[in-house]
């Protein structure tokens, strides 16, 4: 009888141990170690090479001087989706492996199927372990992009059968939906376990690198928002993309978390429609509300998402508290940073906000981490408390320090240019951002400020 080798894996972080442990030494979680069979006895041949290349010999690599290595620019696969190309750094690199994660129902499968159907010049194999062929066909008809004959659908979860179909179809692009549903015959544990996810990813990675075929993988996430499975999964792949957004809003953000072939600061914005995802080329216009009359508590911020300038609307509401404990609620903005800004206003400038409820909202359903919106948050808060509307053609870009000073922010030229392009008449920035800034080339009034006191004097007198 053949023996098998087993080990204990942490279901939270993927830590491997030869014996059972009550607490994981890596993530410090309790009762997360589960025994899994990791290897059968006998020779282990990669699944994708088992039928055709098991007897072939592979040339051993030799060390080479870096100056002697010949580099050639990769011919990337250009998709019709410009937002997707931007996030990847210019297109899909041959032989790359891309992992896409996101909340359930956010649109990961829709994005992948829409991408597979939109490239008629590229033979694509769409592999689904979660849906039937009829379900995928129904979605393809809803996307109205099923006219191409170069997209093949396969509903399979066993990697050995998947690689057999890959040898038959010989695709130029492979899409896996999702990695948690696959299982390899080399591992006896259940699909979705740490060892199965790691082994299936390793087999797909070997296939991608040795055949120069790009592989797009959809991954599930845990309740805290991280990619489900072992952390080594994110280290193995070349690119990790996060598909974010609120299912109650129509806008989605595709954010690059890791990218070996481009910037990891890029993002793409989509709008969810009945016919699929529509790319948003100018997100600033959809983030700004159109009003005929100015309203107090509204300020426009010139922020950066990665390297992309976006104008967003910051809404604040300050009212007297009806209960003993004032509320501090923020949507799309860090609550701790909001408390810090309120403390600066009360301590440094005498605004009595400790007995008032404060509500802050970033319009559009996106979450902002750029500290440059501090200035717009302050302006919206004081505008709401004093019930004085701000001019709708004013924008703000500056970070606020604990002493009330307005600190400089990066890439101020891009922020000013975006505000000018959208027709804003003035923008408030930090005094320390004016060094080396040529204000004459912009058709917008640049208002440098050193402290919040200068800002209050300019806005409210």
Bridge-partner residues for 39, per DSSP? Answer: 5
Provide the pLDDT confidence category of residue 384 given band limits of 50, 70 and 90. very high
pLDDT tens digits, one per residue of 75-93: 889 999 999 998 998 899 9
Check: CB of residue 102 under 8 Å from CB of residue 244. yes
Task: Give mean pLDDT, residues 358-374.
Answer: 89
Coarse DSSP helix, strand, coil percentages of the chain, rounded to the nearest 5 percent: 30, 30, 45
Structure pTM? 0.75
The helix or strand, by DSSP H or E, that contains position 303, with its residue range, turns out to be: strand 298-305
pLDDT tens digits, one per residue of 258-301: 999 888 878 888 888 888 888 887 777 777 766 667 889 999 99
Bridge-partner residues for 319, per DSSP? Answer: 357
pLDDT at position 47? 53
Provide the pLDDT confidence category of residue 401 given band limits of 50, 70 and 90. very high
Bridge-partner residues for 258, per DSSP? Answer: 240
pLDDT at position 290? 65
Check: CB of residue 257 under 8 Å from CB of residue 278. no
The span from the CA of 28 to the CA of 337, in Å, is 29
- Mean predicted lDDT score pLDDT of the chain: 86
Output 126 or 68, whichever has higher pLDDT. 126
């Amino acid at each position: 009888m053949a023996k098998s080798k087993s080990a204990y894996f942490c279901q939270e972080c993927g830590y491997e141990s030869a014996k059972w442990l009550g607490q994981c030494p890596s993530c410090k979680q309790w009762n997360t170690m589960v025994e899994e069979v990791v290897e059968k006895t006998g020779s282990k041949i990669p699944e994708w090479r088992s039928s055709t290349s098991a007897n072939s010999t592979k040339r051993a690599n030799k060390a080479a001087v870096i100056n002697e290595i010949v580099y050639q620019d990769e011919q990337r696969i250009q998709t019709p989706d410009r937002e997707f190309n931007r996030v990847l750094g210019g297109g899909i690199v041959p032989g790359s492996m891309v992992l896409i994660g996101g909340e359930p129902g956010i649109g990961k499968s829709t994005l992948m199927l829409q991408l597979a159907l939109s490239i008629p010049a590229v033979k694509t194999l769409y592999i689904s372990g979660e849906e039937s062929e009829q379900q995928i066909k129904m979605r393809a008809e809803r996307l109205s992009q099923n006219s191409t004959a170069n997209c093949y659908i396969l509903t399979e979860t066993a990697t050995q059968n998947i690689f057999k179909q890959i040898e038959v179809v010989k695709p130029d692009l492979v899409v896996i939906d999702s990695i948690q549903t696959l299982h390899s015959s080399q591992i006896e544990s259940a699909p979705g376990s740490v060892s199965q996810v790691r082994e299936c990813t390793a087999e797909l990675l070997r296939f991608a690198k040795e055949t120069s075929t790009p592989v797009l993988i959809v991954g599930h996430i845990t309740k805290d928002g991280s990619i489900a499975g072992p952390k080594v999964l994110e280290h193995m792949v070349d690119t990790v993309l996060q598909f974010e957004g609120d299912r109650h809003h129509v806008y989605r953000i595709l954010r690059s978390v890791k990218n070996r072939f481009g910037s990891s600061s890029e993002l793409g914005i989509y709008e969810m429609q009945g016919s699929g995802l529509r790319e948003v080329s100018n997100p600033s216009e959809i983030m700004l509300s159109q009003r005929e009359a100015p309203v107090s508590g509204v300020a426009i911020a010139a922020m950066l998402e990665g390297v992309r300038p976006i104008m967003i609307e910051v809404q604040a509401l300050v009212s007297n508290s009806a209960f003993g404990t004032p509320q501090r609620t923020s949507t799309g903005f860090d609550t701790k940073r909001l408390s810090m800004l309120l403390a600066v206003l009360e301590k440094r400038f005498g605004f009595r906000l400790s007995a008032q409820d404060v509500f802050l909202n970033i319009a559009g359903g996106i979450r902002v981490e750029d500290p440059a919106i501090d200035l717009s948050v302050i302006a919206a808060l004081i505008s709401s408390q004093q019930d004085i509307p701000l001019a709708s053609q004013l924008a703000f870009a500056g970070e606020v320090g604990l002493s009330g000073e307005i600190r400089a922010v990066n890439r101020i030229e891009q922020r000013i240019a975006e505000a000018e392009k959208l027709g804003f008449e003035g923008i408030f920035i930090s005094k320390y951002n004016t060094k080396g800034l040529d204000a004459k080339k912009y058709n917008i009034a640049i208002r440098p400020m050193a402290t919040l006191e200068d800002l209050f004097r300019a806005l409210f007198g």
